[in-house]
């Protein structure tokens, strides 16, 4: 696409226009991940420093591995890559299936948080 084309695009594509690419295009039409449920605050860490392109991995998969060199939540990945959460969940399922990322489910889905967690949050907030 030429530069001119891009600027013309920006004139009519604003937030109200909605997604320009249908949300599940980057997942090959899949709406559900092959594995995992992925809460919005599940924490994702890459298991490798980088991944070379291979069959079945698109640029969005590689972008997630790059982003998750530092631990990120599912919500943060979606926000940084500007993709809907549902799309990110499908991509994460692919990455988990290849052991390219590690998922830490939030404490709260395991059970009611421990007393020590409440105290740590209170102390942490006071120290802000």
Partner 1 sequence: MDYGHSERPPGAATLPTAIKILVAGGFGVGKTTMVGAVSETRPLRTEEVLTESGVGIDDLSGVEAKQTTTVAMDFGRITISDDLVLYLFGTPGQDRFWFVWDELSLGAIGAVVLADTRRLADCFPSIDYFEGRGTPFLVAVNCFEGAREYRLDEVQAALNLDPEVPVLLCDARSRSSAKEVLITLVEHAMKVRDARRSVD
In the bound state with partner 1, the residue whose beta carbon lies nearer, of 8 and 122, is 122
CA distances to 24, 90, 115 from 28, rounded to whole Å, are 7, 10, 44
Q: What is the smallest separation between the CB atom of 3 and partner 1, expressed in angstroms? A: 27
Nearer to partner 1, 8 or 40 (CB): 40
Q: Which residues of the chain form contacts with partner 1 (CB under 8 A)?
A: 18-19, 22-24, 31, 39-43, 49, 66, 69-71, 73, 75-76, 78-80, 84-87, 104, 106-109, 112-113, 115, 117-122, 124-126, 128
Q: Smallest distance, Å, CB 34 to partner 1?
A: 16
| Residue number with CB closer to partner 1 (5 or 18) | 18
Structure tokens at 38: 């992925």
Please give the sequence-ordered ranges of beta strands (E in DSSP) within 8-115, or none if there are none.
43-46, 72-73, 101-104
Residue listed under structure tokens 């020590």: 116
Do 93 and 42 contact (CB within 8 A), yes or no? Answer: no
């Amino acid at each position: 696409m030429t530069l001119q084309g891009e600027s013309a695009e920006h004139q009519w594509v604003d937030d109200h226009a909605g997604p320009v690419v249908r949300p599940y295009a980057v997942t090959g039409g899949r709406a559900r991940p092959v594995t995992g449920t992925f809460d919005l605050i599940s924490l994702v860490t890459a298991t490798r420093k980088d991944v070379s392109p291979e069959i079945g991995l698109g640029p969005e998969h590689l972008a997630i591995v790059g982003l998750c060199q530092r631990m990120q939540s599912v919500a943060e990945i979606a926000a940084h890559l500007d993709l809907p959460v549902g799309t990110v969940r499908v991509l994460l399922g692919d990455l988990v299936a290849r052991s390219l990322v590690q998922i830490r489910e939030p404490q709260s889905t395991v059970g009611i948080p421990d007393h020590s967690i409440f105290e740590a949050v209170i102390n942490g907030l006071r120290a802000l």
